[in-house]
Structure 1
């Protein structure tokens, strides 16, 4: 696979649904990060028809921080996280794209951790693993961790990868590769679908690095549930066997 050279711009895609209380905080963190090699930032926020003040919070932030390049897009009907990511990926113009949740579970300071294999000319795709150790990790749900490990193992069996965290939010892609995929899943099935489809690209170079995880409880706004786990199993089988 040919290289596209060192990245000059990173597109940060932020899907948002009812994140009015925290989105300004995550944008402050994104703004504060100084990327390695003077890489520019492009922020793309996709509001998936939030029912709270997410839109007002984003518009206020954009007006108060004109030095942070932000594209704002809004769905008029709630479609799901995957659909918001489809919109953000389509809008991106950076050499690489990273996914950033609008909550505070992942630390934007670690974009540079994800970028290091790319800057060394070694990687086309980098996953940030919550389970590789050596980083802060909030202790929360036992069965969630078991489910994550099991889904990752099942995905690995179909993709022939040896990832430790397929369900991670922090995924960094070469833009041309991920924009070249036909992505279908509109909710949390995005994670196994994109993993299985990326893994099939000839000679793609996939790396994994350890990252921190500051998880939320359901009372704090966590949205993924057990139904999404069953959907993930369906997606792994569907895209692993029949696509």
Structure 2
């Protein structure tokens, strides 16, 4: 029996992966990312559960999703869930909603844009299938995978945030801010999460790091970044918020599990 996470099922018992898609004004790319998810064949025929959380989009994101689900005839996605926030709450809040709805043994977050490649799900799954990992981070800064060349100061900012996060968590991550994080569902559903926007990344990292005996792995992934003209939403204010979250949850991380946890 693990002191905090309980008995771990054997790796071969993984039957379903929940894929959470927080979407805000992604009418141009949501069908494309769903197509890419649909094309992926997971290791050992693991089922795919897609949970789309529409965070009160102002464009035709909802119509694009409904058309896709209604008209796609060759779906390999086993389960679809569509949830709409009636008020825009932020990416973190959309992720919280998706986490609560997940039924797979593991889950990950997939942005609705095209920056991360679903064909790499199996790369993140490998440490789990070897019965080695509870959490897997996909790093944009390790390995020989393709990376779009974009903003120098953004890359510096990401490395600074990762460095600061590592100082407080005592982890040796290379990419804390990555959008690809795969979690064991029964663990992440017990974590108390507060941040509603992009502060989700440093908060979840700080709290996951505090779980006794947690096994965290990192694998190299590719990155096809967007410019602001192409729809990128994170800005400098979110960077300062991330610093605040790193310090806040690093120094005052007194509540890791939610009240429903035993």
Tell me, yes or no, if structure 1 residue 46 matches structure 2 residue 45: no
CA distance in 1, matches of 2:102, 2:72: 20
Tell me, yes or no, if structure 1 residue 129 matches structure 2 residue 139: yes
1:71 is aligned to: 81
- Match for residue 245 of structure 2 among 227, 231, 235: 235
State the SS of the aligned residue for 2:126. helix
TM-score (structure 1 length as normaliser):
0.99
CA distance in 2, matches of 1:222, 1:146: 17
Structure 2 gap ranges (5+): 254-262
- Match for residue 29 of structure 2 among 12, 22, 34: 22
CA distance in 1, matches of 2:200, 2:230: 23
1:1-243 residue pairs with structure 2 within 5 A?
1=2, 2-6=7-11, 7-65=14-72, 67=75, 68=77, 69-243=79-253
CA distance in 2, matches of 1:151, 1:4: 34
CA distance in 2, matches of 1:78, 1:42: 24
CA deviations 1:177-217 (Å, max 9, x no partner) are 10000100000000000000001000000000000000000
**Cα displacement (A) at 1:224:** 0.2
**Cα displacement (A) at 1:23:** 0.2
- Structure 1 segments, 4+ long, off by >4 Å, are none
TM-score (structure 2 length as normaliser):
0.92
CA deviations 1:147-205 (Å, max 9, x no partner) are 00000000000000000000000000000110000100000000000000001000000
Structure 1 gap ranges (5+): none
CA distance in 2, matches of 1:62, 1:71: 10
State the SS of the aligned residue for 2:158. helix
**Cα displacement (A) at 1:64:** 1.5
CA distance in 2, matches of 1:198, 1:184: 14
Q: How many residues in Structure 1 have an aligned counterpart in Structure 2?
A: 243
Root mean square deviation, CA, Å: 0.8
